[in-house]
Amino acid sequence: MDKHVLIIGFARSGAAAANLLQNEGAQVIVSDPKLDSTDKKVMTLKEKGVQFTTDQSVALLNDIDLIVKNPGIPYTIPILTAAEERHIPIVVEVALAQKYIQENWIAVTGSNGKTTTTEMIASVLRTQTGDGHVLVAGNIGTPVSEVAPKMLKDDVLVTELSSFQLTGMPAPKPRIAVLTNIFASHLNFHGTRENYVAAKMNITKHQTAADFFVVNYDNEEWRHLAEQTNATIVPFSRKGVSEAGAYLKNGSLYYKEEFIIAADELGVPGTHNIENALAAIAVGKLMRVETTNIAGALRSFSGVEHRLQFIGNFYDRPVYNDSKATDIEATEMALSGFNVPVILLAGGLDRGDDQMRLLSAMKQHVKGLIVFGETAEKLAAVGKKIGIPVLYAKDAPSAVKPAFELSEAGEVILLSPAAASWDQFPNFETRGNLFVDAVKKFKF
């Protein structure tokens, strides 16, 4: 490859892209205004001939054949708008890796549940192929370009793909594409809901009839969207809309007419995890995993960090960390998984959502509410309308003490913010980790 490639935004995906391109013989320059020249990855890549700069002026585009951008960087920044005017291709790191991906590629996207579904699928597949033959990458943490070049013919690659990544992938063609759901999200990046939906649907746009599109059928819009695919549709449904794929019926999960597992045997609570499990069952069956192996994997699956993660029993109170619940739908789903009273800890960045949408779920499940962050007053209004105790805290870790004081033995303490973390924390992981630390340090 004799290309001149500009990488915009370093981070982990940028580092992986630079390494792959350098190995392929490209001339690579990385641009990042927040570049840390002492970073070991920067120093290693410099030794290999990669150039680095904090400059992002349009002058950088001279002689550039390709741009690889960090998925979260908007296309509206000046250097990218100038690149589009010059018809310079702009892709994301995952696109570079596509040519290395072998036949067994499973790609998962959706507004909610994609990380848990990705991990569930991987757990199911490992029961049949072993740990070493199931690779997990993408938005879940490990860049695809770190994994795909090492992929063997019989390996299975399970990728989580965000709307940001799918926007920058010219022609993804997984053997199995999975759509967990679609809600309004990331409109500040995509501009309109239509653009966001189009980005999500890029996961199946280039599939053929020999491929499979595993899609949630519990929403009329999602069923209509499925009609756009050329792939073979495999539906999953928690509400019994279709029994053509995986579905819930009378408290049990089935694939077509075959019983797989009882819902109360799943290793993680919540109606959303029933949906995630149904998607994993569909993929497992398509990949010819034995039913007993699928059921065993779903029983032993204990969840993903910050996603309705069970922290433990503290003073006879089960505590859950659902810091990844950054929208109202995720918190509704989390609450639906409990049949005992819940002390809900919620609040965060105010993106203009109507918190009253939580009214029904909170009325059914929440005994007490502790609020914080920019959405505190909106959430408090919901609690007061229901007539439950409402307390205020500085942030999620500070809410731990009043949560224990407000609760009784056997009642659930749940952090499920229904909002992003950026008003108080750099990311949901930090918010969740600090909450968990506070729980473990708490003394009555």
What is the per-residue DSSP string for 418-441?
SS-STTTSSSHHHHHHHHHHHHHH
**Residue (of 195, 152, 184, 159) closest to 174 by Cα position:** 159
Rounded to the nearest 10°, the torsion over CA 249, 253, 255, 259 is -90
Burial 66-91 (b: 16+ CB within 10 A, else e): bbbbbbebeeeeebbeebeeeeeebb
Alpha carbons 234 and 245: distance in angstroms, whole number = 5
pLDDT at 23: 94
Token pair in block for residue 370: 């502790």
116 is in an annotated binding site: yes
Handedness of CA 39, 42, 46, 52 (dihedral sign): negative
Token pair in block for residue 141: 């943490």
Alpha carbons 98 and 209: distance in angstroms, whole number = 20
- CATH class label, 96-300: alpha beta
114 is in an annotated binding site: yes
112 is in an annotated binding site: yes
Handedness of CA 196, 202, 205, 211 (dihedral sign): negative
CATH architecture of 309-441: Alpha-Beta Complex (3.90)
**Termini Cα distance of the chain:** 64
* Residue 133 φ then ψ, to 5°: -100, 0
Alpha carbons 155 and 134: distance in angstroms, whole number = 6
Parallel, antiparallel, or unpaired: how do β-strands 342-346 and 317-321 relate? unpaired
Alpha carbons 141 and 161: distance in angstroms, whole number = 11
378 is in an annotated binding site: no
163 is in an annotated binding site: no
pLDDT at 185: 66
pLDDT at 187: 67
pLDDT at 112: 87
Is 59 buried (19+), middle (13-18) or exposed (0-12) by CB count in 10 A?
exposed
**Residue (of 176, 54, 165) closest to 105 by Cα position:** 176
Alpha carbons 361 and 334: distance in angstroms, whole number = 9
Q: Helices (DSSP H) in 24-113: which residue ranges?
A: 40-47, 78-85, 93-97
Alpha carbons 109 and 44: distance in angstroms, whole number = 33
For residue 307, list its beta bridge partners. 304
pLDDT at 1: 61
The domain segmentation of the chain, as residue ranges, is 4-91, 96-300, 309-441
363 is in an annotated binding site: no
232 is in an annotated binding site: no
pLDDT at 131: 66
pLDDT at 372: 98
Alpha carbons 43 and 52: distance in angstroms, whole number = 10
Domain 4-91 in CATH: superfamily? NAD(P)-binding Rossmann-like Domain (3.40.50.720)
Element (H, E) at 225: helix 220-226
Question: Residues with Cβ < 8 Å from 213, sequence gap 6 or more?
Answer: 176, 177, 179, 204, 207, 226, 229, 231, 232, 233, 234
pLDDT at 189: 75
218 secondary structure, DSSP code: S
The pLDDT tens digits along the chain (444 residues) read: 689 999 999 989 999 999 999 999 999 999 999 898 889 999 999 999 999 999 999 999 999 999 999 998 999 999 999 999 999 999 999 999 999 999 999 999 999 899 999 999 999 999 987 767 999 999 988 999 999 999 999 999 999 999 999 999 999 999 999 999 998 766 677 778 899 999 999 999 999 999 999 999 999 999 999 999 999 999 999 999 999 999 999 999 999 999 999 999 999 888 889 999 999 999 999 999 999 999 999 999 988 889 899 999 999 999 999 999 999 999 998 998 898 999 999 999 998 889 999 999 999 999 999 999 999 999 999 999 999 999 999 999 999 999 999 999 999 999 999 999 999 999 999 999 999 999 999 998
pLDDT at 142: 94
Same fold, 4-91 and 96-300: no
Is 159 buried (19+), middle (13-18) or exposed (0-12) by CB count in 10 A?
buried
CB atoms within 10 A of CB 18: 28
